[in-house]
Structure 1
């Protein structure tokens, strides 16, 4: 816990360790904690590993770069499929506004909960970004919304062939 507090998110900050800020708006506690990185991870990494933070920073920065490229491609494809012209979506291209504004890398952890009746992992449908790229696990939870009478549909994790 001491290490987590060394990189605790400030009350007015975005990056760092902490719990979901919207949890106070729900009856059940959100049993989730996370580490948010916006921009360079160096500010927090140097506090955790003063003499050996370079490998962590290099890895995170490479991952962020690849995810931004993927996000740009996906956004361009999605908006293009809706009939939005390339000229109108220049902001999602590499070196466009999307790149300048940055993106958040959210590393969540869901530790075992001693009283699951009084808590939930994460509140449903609370993502606040235009695009989320998730690392798949074998746990259900991802839902998509259908505009017809179907409403929210739970997606099953894709099982890799053995």
Structure 2
């Protein structure tokens, strides 16, 4: 995948930060379909900081691959703070890594609602000691741009987590 300069710079910074900290990460991706892991692996040497990624696009994948409780999906929907956090915690636990980033959202062009419009993305990052959630509404930028913005936002979260 060809990355724009901003995304590539962020991916390099993620690799650098985690390499220096001797941390291994994993991704749990729904709306991005593996693009975060792809961005991280665009940097040579990324095998020292990336365990891998779970593409949990379907709800069954969330449940079966990383242990998201199906009652959370039933109660809050797949695009929710609760499910994003469960995705991050499940991916970290399953992979036994230091850090997990998870994203779930509505990339469009369809699938949005008044409560969950196109462009809504929930992000969760866990280190085991702390878990943080962010919600971002990118707006109806178009599917590709929403996914690219989601990747950038996720990479920035990982970088910021290294500053804590």
TM-score category (smaller protein): under 0.3
TM-score by length of 2: 0.28
Tell me which protein shows more helix as a share of its residues: 2
